Each structure stands twice: as C-alpha cells, then as structure tokens.
Amino acid sequence: MRSDSIAKILGMVVMLLTVTAQAAIDEIFKLSIGTTVSRFDASITFASKDGSVSTGIDLEDDLGYDNDVNSGWISGWYRFGDRHRLAVVLVPTQRSSFLVTKKDIDVGDDTIKAGASLSSTADVDIWDISYIYSVYKKPNLEIGLSAGVYWLRTDTRLLATGEVLLNNETTPEFRADYQTRQKISAPLPLFGIMAEYEIMHSWRVRAGARYFAITVSEIDGSVFAANVGTDYYFTESLGVGLALSRANVDVDATSIIFEGAIDWSYNSAQLYLIYKY
C-alpha cells in the first residue's frame, strides 16, 4: 500500500516536471523595454538635382556628432502558432551638433565652405520586423529561421551661416540662413537564423545573425545584423536582460525608395526589463 502511494506521488512529480519542461520556451508574448548605449559610425550622402550622388558626409568626423549615444529600446514578439512568431524591435535615436567647419562640405549641388557655423540634427528610427519559423523546438532549445525587414528612417537637417557655393557656381556667397534636409526611408530585407537556450528555469541565453545583399541597376547595398543576449527571470513573467548587438547598413541608390547613400553601423549594449506570458 505504502509503495503504491509512493509510486503515485513520484508519478505526479514526474508529470508536473514534464509539463513544466515542455512549457519552458513556449510563452505566447514577450515584451522588453529598456535603454541602449550605442557607438555609431555613420555617413550620409545628399543627392544632387540631376540624380548624381555627392561626396558623403561623416556625421562624427565632419559634423562633430558624439560617437556614443543613449536612447530607448523596445522589443517584443508574439507567438501565433507553435512554431510561428512575429518579432518587432524599435530603436529611436536623436542626435545633434554645432561646430565651425574645418573643411568644405558637399551637400548635393551646394558646398558649405570651411569656416561656416553649422548646426545639425539627425533623427533616426530603426524598425526591425521579422517573421520567425522554428525549425527545431525542444523544451529548452528553440532554433528558428527568420525573414523580415530592417527599416532605417533618417531625417537630417543642416543650418549654416557662412560662405556657401550654390548650384555649382564659381563664386561662393555669404548666407546667414542656409538650410538643407535629407530624409531617407530604406526598408531592407533580412534573412537569418536565431536560437534560444534555457540553461535553467530562470536563466536563458540567445543569439542570432541576419544578412542580405543586393546589386541591381538602381540599388547596390547590403545589411547585416547580429545579437547575443541573456535573460534572467525573477518570476514566471518578470525578468531582466542584457544584450549586445551590431548592425551595418551600406546602400547606394537612385530609386523610388530614396536617392543618396547610407553607410551606417553601430555596436550597442541593451539593458532592459522583461514581461512574458
């Protein structure tokens, strides 16, 4: 009688452990909100009226932007099937600078001459949207293939006071209110692989890498993104995480998407709170 009771209890424990293990990496929804510290290396190019591309402007070297930037960071995904997820990451960034130019700066058809006072702002929104299909799924390990869009949206404004050579003229003229603006919206496809492993019930690690390159008549470019991170959960639903990531976008285009060029890369670290169910 006693042995039968012990066997039943052991059976119930095994069943509960099995159910818990099967649900280890099986949450329906996950939301992460925190901050990111990024080290940028970025340049943009203003297109001329004839569609040609001028010399690139290095945001850090030419415009005096700080390399290190703090900004918000939001990430989330929704599991709409046992092996199907939709993931979204948003990184909004605002940068600004003021300096006296030490060299000529080409802006499309115009040239801001050395010695001009130049202020600028650069607003950047990075939308990273992916569909993930889990090709391998176990209680403590999930490996998926992803296809999505890395959408870089930039709005750069320049305001200069000083000598400006306008429209390829031979003689510069003094301008107290020279202004120009470049808006770029570059939705670029990405394909890759990602994995998440549960070391123990409260501790997980994950990594992923994605890439895409294209060369056609009007567009020549590539995009790469990779990340590695770890999450620790205090409860079934709440936790904290730390991640490292790198991204690089290099595109030269004269198309209906945008005209100009982007050479945009950054390394970043994210610290965030997590909610899942």
| Structural domain boundaries enclosing 153 | 28-276
The DSSP secondary structure of the chain, one letter per residue, reads -HHHHHHHHHHHHHHHHHHHHHTTT--SEEEEEEEEEEEEEEEEEEBPTTS-B---EETTTTT---SEEEEEEEEEEEEEETTEEEEEEEEEEEEEEEEE-SS-EEETTEEEPTT-EEEEEEEEEEEEEEEEEEEEEETTEEEEEEEEEEEEEEEEEEEEEEEEE-TT-SS-EEEEEEEEEEEEEEEEEEEEEEEEEEEETTEEEEEEEEEEEEE-SSEEEEEEEEEEEEEEESSSSEEEEEEEEEEEEEEEEESSS-EEEEEEEEEEEEEEEEEE-
Can you give the pLDDT at residue 184? Answer: 80
Residue 271 within a domain: yes
Residue 6 within a domain: no
Residue 20 within a domain: no
Residue 3 within a domain: no
Residue 2 within a domain: no
Judge whether 127 and 117 are in contact, CB under 8 Å. Answer: no
Please give the model's pTM, rounded to 2 decimal places: 0.82
Can you give the pLDDT at residue 20? Answer: 41
Residue 103 within a domain: yes
Can you give the pLDDT at residue 157? Answer: 92
Say which CATH number the domain at 248 has: 2.40.128.90
Can you give the pLDDT at residue 257? Answer: 55
Can you give the pLDDT at residue 51? Answer: 53
Can you give the pLDDT at residue 249? Answer: 87
Can you give the pLDDT at residue 164? Answer: 94
Residue 19 within a domain: no
Mean pLDDT by 10 residues, the chain (277 residues): 51 44 73 95 72 71 91 95 96 93 88 94 93 95 96 90 88 92 84 96 96 77 93 96 94 63 88 96
Counted domains in the chain: 1
Can you give the pLDDT at residue 18? Answer: 42
